[in-house]
Amino acid sequence: MLEVKACALSDVGRSRRRNEDFFAIDEEKGIYLVADGMGGHGHGEVASRLAVAAIGDFLRQSTGRRRWGLGRGSREEGREARLRDAIDVANRKVLRAVERDRSLLGMGTTLVAMLLDGERATIAHVGDSRAYRWRENRLTQLTDDHTWVNEQVSAGNISETQARSHPFKSVVTRALGGAREVEVEVCEVEVAAGDRYLLCSDGLTGMITDERIAEYLRSRSALDEICRALVDEANRAGGRDNITVLILAVAES
Ligand code: CA
């Protein structure tokens, strides 16, 4: 049996007035979420909270069911379909909130979600919030940013180095609240004792390198201390955006 411990911390950073990131942990149901809200005249926090709440509710209600009544794939089964449906429902809720209150126009949110079920984890993302795995002394980024800059890197138009300081580096090409159909990217991973997973917003990865992140994940400190240390380092590096980190540690029970 695997035992999972999780801890998260969200911080406003050093230059923003509000924290528009949001996270949720439900250890019993194996739900871990990080969202980074944007736009809508400072109402990004409405989008990120709404999305996190909607996804958490949907996943809790559909846990253990072979069928669930909401969403696009109601006849589909399995974690991936549930997660896709949950995100679909959240996307519609964000869009509906904007329809009801036009002052929210332009708001949206990124999302990275992990749904853990025994030794299997399903990870879904939209936008530039990331998931990493730390395993056997190696850090692997499990998600590919949905950003304009990342697409340019993949197409070979700009280098990774140019991407890091590109003026458009925070332009995301996918978000919840953007269109009626949200394009979700999903991957499945086999979870093993000794693994650590990090879900985070770009306020962390825009400020510190993967090498630094790896050093913290390697640490034997308590998880809450690691969360604090990552946030502190992102703030020391400038803290130009809201910073959210969520860490899972997997052990043999
Ligand atoms: Ca951000």
Helix (H, G, I), strand (E, B) or coil at 202: helix
Q: What is the mean pLDDT of residues 216-234?
A: 97
Select the more confidently predicted residue: 147 or 62: 147
- Residue 113 above 70 pLDDT? yes
Rounded Cα distance, 198 and 30, in Å: 14
Rounded Cα distance, 177 and 189, in Å: 27
| CA 201 / ligand 1 centre spacing (Å) | 6
**Tokens for 63?**
């846990």
Q: Full-prediction pTM beyond 0.85? A: yes
Helices 44-62 and 79-100 cross at an angle (nearest 10°) of 140
Return the pLDDT at 164: 84
Place of tokens 């190696």: 138
| CA 200 / ligand 1 centre spacing (Å) | 10
E strands, 107-146, in order: 108-117, 120-126, 130-135, 138-141
Return the pLDDT at 66: 63
| CA 242 / ligand 1 centre spacing (Å) | 6
Return the pLDDT at 76: 42
What band does 75 get if pLDDT is binned at 50, 70 and 90? very low
- Residue 204 above 50 pLDDT? yes
Torsion sign (Cα): 245, 19, 55, 208: negative
- Residue 241 above 90 pLDDT? yes
Tell me the residues surrounding ligand 1 (ion) with CB < 5 Å. 36, 202-203, 241
| CA 252 / ligand 1 centre spacing (Å) | 34
What band does 70 get if pLDDT is binned at 50, 70 and 90? low
pLDDT digits (tens, 9 = 90+) for 6-54: 999 999 999 999 999 999 999 999 999 999 999 878 799 999 999 999 9
Give me the DSSP letters along 154-166: HTTSS-HHHHHT-
Chain CA centroid to CA 60, Å: 18
Return the pLDDT at 78: 80
Q: What is the mean pLDDT of residues 145-173?
A: 91
| CA 203 / ligand 1 centre spacing (Å) | 5
165 in Cβ contact with 173 (< 8 Å): no
| CA 118 / ligand 1 centre spacing (Å) | 31
| CA 205 / ligand 1 centre spacing (Å) | 10
